[in-house]
Amino acid sequence: MDTKNVPCEDFEGVSDIFIRSYVDDDDKKDTDTHFRCSDGAASFNWRLMFNVKSPRQNPLMLVLQAWDFDLFKSNDYICEWTLDLDEIFKNVRLTQQQVILNKSYYDAFLKKKMPHGTTLEFREDDSFLLTTYKDGKPIKCRMDLRIMPLDVSAKREVGKGRENPNMEPYLPPPVGRISFSLNPFKMLA
């Protein structure tokens, strides 16, 4: 997961960005924090996993929110992306197979069933970009989405975040981060 064009919220012209995600309000999960992001391109490579019951009364919406982490005051909300998951969950229930939201799946099945106004930009690596707007400017979040039945997920154990087992997909350490050190010359570099 990474972002593009996230506005800088701190007075120094940077943001300490993390993403909060949820399907149910009582099960919110956060990525790690990309500290001192100055160009709006925060990188996470963080696996967020949710146990979701389906079918259900309320619509299945994945919510991703960008926040600016603040140590001495409350975190600042930046923006939000939403993705309707109802049709994907119907397909998973029907087939009892994993669904990876990639371009071929989207074009063959999901595109005509998505709510009006939802557009996804696909990459070659099965990831896609969600777009939202703030002050008329596009803000993008790139992610990979995999939905599977509970019995399939039990056979494919993966770690949270970047913990082991780190596979399906492998999540390398994020790029563009400052590395903290007690060596002041390394920090300045």
Q: What is the 3-state secondary structure (H, E, C) of 26-67?
A: CCCEECCCEEEECCCCCECCCECCCCCCCCCCCCCEEEEEEE
pLDDT for the residue numbered 181:
47
Rounded to whole angstroms, what are the CA distances from 118 to 5, 87, 89, 112, 129?
A: 19, 13, 17, 11, 11
pLDDT for the residue numbered 187:
47
Per-residue pLDDT of the chain (189 residues; tens, 9 = 90+): 889 999 887 778 888 999 999 998 889 999 999 888 888 888 888 889 899 988 888 889 999 999 999 888 899 999 999 999 999 999 999 999 999 999 999 988 888 887 776 778 998 888 999 999 999 999 999 999 999 998 888 888 888 888 888 777 777 777 665 555 455 655 454
Query: Could you tell me the two tokens for 185?
Result: 């010359």
pLDDT for the residue numbered 183:
55
Identity of residue 27? D
pLDDT for the residue numbered 176:
60
Structural domains of the chain in order of their starting residue, each with its CATH number: 2-188 (2.60.40.150)
Identity of residue 70? D
pLDDT for the residue numbered 40:
85
57, 128, 117, 5: CA torsion to nearest 10:
110
User: How much is the pTM?
Assistant: 0.84
pLDDT for the residue numbered 156:
80
Peptide bond into 138 cis (omega under 30): no
pLDDT for the residue numbered 83:
92
pLDDT for the residue numbered 117:
67
Report the alpha-carbon distance of residue 181 to residue 69 in Å, rounded.
20
pLDDT for the residue numbered 185:
56
Scanning the structure block, which residue is given the tokens 């996993």?
A: 49
